[in-house]
């Protein structure tokens, strides 16, 4: 049974890493002001944050329970805001997530995949 969970979760964990890498690539030469002015980059970042949240929502509960240090619920809840209450999005908050949260999440997910 454990092997099945790992097979199920690995593609979702890999999707999270891919989405983070894309976001980091899209904003690599941006500062907050240039980010706010570039609608295509905003849309690309938002889409990948949505992918991260959706992948989290598809992970088996045992993966989430085994790694409580990751704010799974917050990530999933944020995806719901991006998808369903997009008009409430604050670009300063998005920038904060991109600059201050994604690197740590990338490291945590990479660690899980190595186990």
As annotated, the active-site residues are 79, 84
Which 3 state secondary structure label does DSSP give 42?
A: helix
What is the rounded CA–CA span in Å between residue 32 and residue 55?
A: 27
Q: Locate tokens 């706010």: which residue?
A: 36
Looking from the CA of 36 toward its CB, the CA atoms found within 13 Å total 10
What count of other Cβ atoms lies within 10 Å of the Cβ of residue 24?
16
- The residue behind tokens 């890493």 is 17
Euclidean distance between CA atoms 11 and 113, whole angstroms = 10
């Amino acid at each position: 049974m454990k092997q099945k969970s790992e097979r199920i979760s690995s593609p979702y964990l890999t999707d999270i890493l891919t989405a983070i890498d894309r976001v980091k690539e899209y904003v690599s030469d941006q500062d907050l002001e240039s980010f706010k002015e570039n609608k295509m980059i905003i849309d690309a970042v938002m889409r990948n944050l949505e992918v991260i949240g959706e992948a989290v929502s598809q992970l088996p509960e045992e993966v989430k329970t085994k790694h409580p240090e990751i704010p799974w619920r917050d990530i999933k809840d944020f995806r719901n805001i991006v998808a369903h209450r997009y008009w409430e999005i604050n670009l300063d908050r998005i920038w904060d997530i991109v600059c201050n949260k994604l690197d740590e999440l990338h490291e945590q997910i990479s660690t899980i995949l190595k186990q």
